[in-house]
């Protein structure tokens, strides 16, 4: 699998999952997630996937400043309904990392480790995404402002050209390079940029 080189330089998210430890899936329950994992899950790399990844990264750093975040022990709520806008994409990325799932999630094992009903939609809030620690009740809301990293000037015309059924490989590759260059800027130059990702207690 060949992917843009910058994928490997995006900050990773390390979690501790006691279910994974209990079942022997990961030593000490430590699981590392990368931006590539989010890309594999969603099937694409775009500003929305990047924004969801950065919101999750920033939320966990805020909630767990001196310890590993605990996967499966967080509730994730979205302001949008599940069928609204890009809520599904954002929820997929946040759920991948945190383990939070909707009513179809894991029921638990021996009365522990349930992931069901930890992912909720259509919840009134100031931000667009809220993470809450189940052990302490501490919560953080986040908002994503894509306009903070405007699209490259040539992108629109390149998209039109690349979308033409007769577009050659060079035209399609030029668009893809510009698109991923935009995503790279979002992920690497604005990782902790409050103009892009606003964190609210």
CA 106 to chain centre: 20
- Neighbouring-strand partners of residue 16: 30, 70
**Would you place residue 201 in the very low, low, confident or very high pLDDT band (cuts 50, 70, 90)?**
confident
Contact 119, 102 (CB under 8 A): yes
Helix H segments across 67-197? Answer: 87-98, 155-163, 169-184
Query: Residues 66-77: pLDDT tens digits?
Result: 999 999 999 999
Tokens of 154: 């040539």
Q: What is the pLDDT of residues 183-199, one digit of tens each?
A: 999 999 999 999 999 99
**141-157 residue pLDDT tens:** 999 999 999 999 999 99
Positive or negative torsion for Cα 181, 185, 188, 189: positive
pLDDT in tens, 25-38: 999 999 999 999 99
Q: Is 45 helix (H, G, I), strand (E, B) or coil?
A: coil
What tokens appear for 149 in the block? 């990293």
């Amino acid at each position: 699998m060949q992917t843009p080189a910058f994928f490997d330089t995006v900050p990773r998210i390390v979690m501790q999952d006691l279910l994974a430890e209990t079942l022997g899936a990961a030593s000490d329950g430590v699981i590392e997630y990368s931006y590539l994992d989010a890309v594999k899950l969603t099937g694409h790399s775009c500003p929305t996937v990047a924004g969801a990844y950065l919101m999750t990264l920033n939320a966990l750093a805020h909630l767990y400043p001196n310890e590993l975040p605990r996967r499966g022990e967080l509730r994730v709520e979205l302001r949008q309904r599940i069928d609204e806008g890009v809520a599904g994409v954002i929820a997929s990325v946040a759920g991948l990392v945190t383990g939070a799932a909707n009513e179809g999630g894991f029921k638990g094992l021996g009365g522990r480790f349930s992931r069901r009903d930890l992912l909720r939609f259509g919840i009134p809030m100031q931000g667009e995404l809220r993470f809450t620690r189940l052990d302490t009740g501490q919560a953080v809301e986040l908002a994503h402002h894509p306009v903070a990293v405007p699209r490259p000037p040539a992108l629109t015309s390149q998209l039109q050209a690349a979308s033409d059924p007769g577009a050659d490989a060079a035209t399609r590759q030029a668009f893809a390079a510009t698109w991923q260059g935009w995503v790279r800027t979002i992920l690497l130059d604005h990782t902790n940029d409050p103009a892009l990702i606003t964190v609210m207690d």
